[in-house]
């Protein structure tokens, strides 16, 4: 098991929220709290650092969360792979655990499970749920993957799935759990 003190947390909340009318997903309310609050409540481990991939002007709620804000490095390239690159460069610890802010159903022990699942000399671990691979929910060895990720973006790669194909990372299967995501107004209707 990897010690959480060697791991930084990276929450991905830098998207444009286009399917939500441009809303700031981190601040949207679901089940009585913001998506950012839900993520932080679910990931209480004593991480080395807490980062937020964020490409907006931070409001009081974001500042109050006490996270280090990390904007994308490449203005011309947006999306999750560019967000990962920015988080990889901002990370000061050997490992980075990433999660998107818009997960609908958080497993209680997600971080602890990933820290246990990355064993041996693996460069990380990604999650698979009942819907398939969830490549933004992962634990990453920064030294092993940072340069390769930058090269993928230099070569115009935009898809996290395709970038991952060149890496034999273990997959932590949490099926039958479904993480789901909150991408559209209909997704915010509580179940």
pLDDT the model gives residue 113: 87
Domain count of the fold of the chain = 1
Q: For the domain that residue 19 is a member of, what is the CATH number?
A: 3.90.550.10
pTM of the predicted protein model: 0.93
Cβ burial, residue 187 (10 Å; 0-12/13-18/19+) = middle
Query: What's the distance, CA 188 to chain centroid?
Result: 20
Of 159, 156, 21, the closest CA to residue 79 belongs to 159
Q: Are 49 and 9 in contact (CB under 8 A)?
A: yes
Question: Whole-angstrom Cα distance, residue 172 to residue 53?
Answer: 23
Identify the segments of the chain with pLDDT beneath 70: 16-17, 118-120, 190-191
Q: Residue 137: which domain range?
A: 4-188
pLDDT the model gives residue 120: 67
């Amino acid at each position: 098991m990897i010690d959480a003190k060697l791991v930084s947390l990276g929450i991905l909340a830098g998207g444009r929220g286009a399917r939500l009318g441009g809303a700031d997903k981190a601040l949207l309310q679901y089940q009585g709290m913001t998506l950012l609050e839900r993520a932080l409540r679910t990931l209480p481990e004593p991480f080395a650092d807490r980062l937020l991939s964020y490409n907006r002007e931070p409001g009081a709620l974001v500042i109050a969360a006490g996270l280090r804000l990390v904007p994308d490095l490449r203005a011309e390239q947006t999306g999750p792979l560019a967000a990962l690159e920015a988080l990889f460069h901002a990370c000061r610890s050997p490992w980075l655990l990433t999660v998107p802010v818009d997960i609908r159903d958080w497993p209680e022990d997600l971080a602890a499970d990933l820290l246990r699942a990355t064993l041996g000399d693996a460069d990380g671990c990604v999650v698979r749920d009942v819907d398939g691979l969830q490549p933004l929910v992962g634990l990453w060895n920064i030294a092993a993957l940072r340069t390769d990720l930058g090269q993928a973006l230099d070569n115009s790669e935009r898809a996290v799935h395709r970038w991952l194909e060149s890496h034999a990372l273990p997959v932590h299967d949490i099926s039958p759990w479904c993480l789901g995501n909150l991408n559209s107004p209909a997704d915010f209707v509580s179940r």
